[in-house]
Structures are given as structure tokens and as C-alpha cells.
Amino acid sequence: MLLEKIIKNIQLALKNISSFFLKKACLTFSFSTNKNDIITSMFFRTKTKINKPFYHLLIEKYGEPIEMIKMGEIIKEEENIHADYIAQSVKAETKTCSFDENPLLIRWDKTNFTLQVQMDYQKNTSFFIFTVK
């Protein structure tokens, strides 16, 4: 479809230029659409994990987040070893936390959209998801 072609062209263009969000370098932009080919979500990863000054920029732009959670007590851990990969999964309780307690997820709920920031401390990146309501 035409929209898919446009999105692929946007993704190719973004790979070839330096992309920024609030002056923070970003990677891997993606979009999702509904069945009518209307864009409903945008995803991107930052080159580095967000730090406290950047978190304060987000608060200035979007207000205080409605939720910040971190991993609590681990309930179950599994490791599956296959010929081509090793998969690890962890099931844990979640706890409300502050930015200083290394949240895994930060969420803002605005009138027309939601913003989620997922922190990846192992890869030192953050994954942003903007979703239209």
C-alpha cells in the first residue's frame, strides 16, 4: 500500500540522517498503523539511556509522569538454550519508584496521546513509545 511505502521511505531517510528528540540522539524509528492505515504509534530508541537532566526536560514538556515502576521481588526465572540463541525470562512483581531508583518504565498520559519510556540499563538505551488515543 501507499502508506507502507511512505513509512519505509521515512525509515530509510531517518537511518541516513542524525535524528534527535529534545536534543538527544535517536536510533531506529518505527511506526504502527491501524486497519485503515492511520499511524497510531511511533517508536524510537535513544543512543544512550536518559539521565536526570533529560528526565527534567521531559517533565518540562509533558508534566509529571503518572507512573514510574521498577522490578520488585523476582517470582520466576527461566533460561532456554537453543542451537541459535539463549532466551532468558524473568517474572517479577513491580513497584512504584522514583527516577533515582532506576525505573524500568515511565509513563505520561496526556489528552491526545500516551508516552512510555522503557529503560534498558544493560544496553544503556531508552525506548520511547508515543501512542495516539
The answer to whether 98 and 64 have CB atoms below 8 angstroms apart is: no
Q: Where are the domains of the chain?
A: 2-70+98-132
The answer to whether 40 and 132 have CB atoms below 8 angstroms apart is: yes
Helix or strand run (H / E) with residue 80: strand 67-81
pLDDT given for residue 56 in this prediction: 94
Summarize pLDDT for 9-48 with one digit per residue, the tens: 666 555 544 577 777 777 777 888 889 888 889 888 888 8
Q: Scan for cell 514510574, then name that residue.
A: 68
Summarize pLDDT for 116-133 with one digit per residue, the tens: 999 999 889 899 999 988
Q: pTM for the full model?
A: 0.74
* Percent of the chain with pLDDT strictly greater than 90: 41
